[in-house]
């Protein structure tokens, strides 16, 4: 059967990204070598295409993704997976994106009731010839309370849900839990799936004592991250679904050592 993709291309143009996206597969996430967690991940896998190659055999991308259903946050495992993909697909550049929901059990602050919350995570692993890079992104909903509204009003302050996102490139592995904890500790208040009345009183008062603009928030997270020796670069994004407007406030701060 004729191999159209394998034909020689005469147009003289390489392509940066060729591949598949929005493929969903069950995934076992290994953390610290032992804990495991089952979820459905959405994957994307791209390579480059040399000027003389007409097309990529996309079925091989699906095959390769079906061979690796057990992922880990550790650089060693990810580096191995991406290298195997690079070898299987016979390409110099490989980019793998693994997007998945991740459950975190939270305990309410006063009544100590446990319940599960779920956050979205993205592992992005690149290999360009021998150079490997991995980033971890966590997207954590938080509460922000407006310092201006508090300062000028007799009582109360407008507050709202905001989505904080942190992307980290690090020499050591920063766990999903660590990233989430850091994003939550710098918020006006962290969110809880389950709050009894005593807890609700606590979070209402706690947030009033910790007013922050999106600008304050990204800076406070950045200051914490800059102390980590192992972090090479990071980006913090915060989008606040303002309770007094129908549009959103936004801030973004990046750092590269």
Helix or strand run (H / E) with residue 232? strand 231-240
Q: How wide is the angle at C-alpha 251 spanned by C-alphas 230 and 232, nearest 5°?
A: 15
Per DSSP, the three-state class of 11 is coil
Question: Which position among 141, 181, 224, 231 is part of the footprint of its own copies (CB under 8 A)?
Answer: 141
CB of 123 to its own copies, least distance (A): 16
Q: Give the E-state strand segments of 108-174 in sequence order.
A: 114-128, 131-145, 159-170
Question: Which position among 93, 157, 210, 228 is part of the footprint of its own copies (CB under 8 A)?
Answer: 157
By DSSP bridging, strand 131-145 and strand 159-170 are antiparallel
Options 8-16, 78-86, 123-131, 178-186: segment touching its own copies (CB under 8 A):
8-16
Question: Which position among 109, 182, 195, 234 is part of the footprint of its own copies (CB under 8 A)?
Answer: 195
Residues 76-115 that bind its own copies (CB under 8 A): 101, 103, 113-115
Contacts for 112 with CB less than 8 Å, ≥ 6 apart: none
CB of 201 to its own copies, least distance (A): 4
Question: Which position among 86, 124, 214, 234 is part of the footprint of its own copies (CB under 8 A)?
Answer: 214
Q: Is 56 in the site for its own copies (CB under 8 A)?
A: yes
Question: Cα–Cα distance between 145 and 162 in angstroms, integer?
Answer: 10
CB of 78 to its own copies, least distance (A): 20
């Amino acid at each position: 059967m004729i191999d159209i993709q394998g034909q020689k291309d005469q147009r003289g143009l390489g392509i940066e990204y060729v591949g598949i996206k929005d493929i969903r597969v069950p995934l076992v996430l290994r953390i610290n070598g032992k804990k495991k967690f089952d979820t459905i991940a959405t994957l994307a896998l791209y390579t480059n295409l040399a000027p003389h190659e007409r097309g990529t055999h996309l079925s091989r991308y699906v095959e390769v993704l079906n061979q690796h259903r057990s992922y880990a946050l550790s650089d060693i495992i990810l580096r191995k997976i991406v290298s195997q993909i690079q070898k299987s697909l016979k390409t110099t550049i490989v980019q793998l994106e693994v997007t998945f929901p991740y459950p975190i059990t939270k305990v309410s602050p006063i009544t100590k009731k446990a319940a599960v919350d779920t956050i979205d995570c993205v592992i992005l692993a690149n290999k360009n010839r021998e150079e490997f890079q991995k980033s971890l992104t966590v997207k954590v909903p938080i509460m922000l309370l407006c310092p201006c509204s508090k300062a000028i009003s007799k009582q109360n302050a407008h507050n709202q849900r905001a989505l904080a996102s942190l992307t980290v490139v690090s020499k050591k592995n920063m766990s999903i839990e660590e990233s989430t904890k850091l994003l939550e500790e710098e918020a006006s208040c962290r969110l809880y799936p389950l709050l009894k009345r005593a807890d609700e009183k606590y979070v209402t008062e706690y947030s009033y004592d910790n007013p922050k603009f999106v600008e304050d928030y990204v800076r406070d997270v950045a200051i914490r991250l800059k102390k980590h020796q192992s972090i090479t670069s990071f980006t913090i994004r915060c989008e606040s679904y303002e309770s007094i407007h129908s549009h959103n406030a936004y801030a973004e701060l990046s750092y590269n050592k």
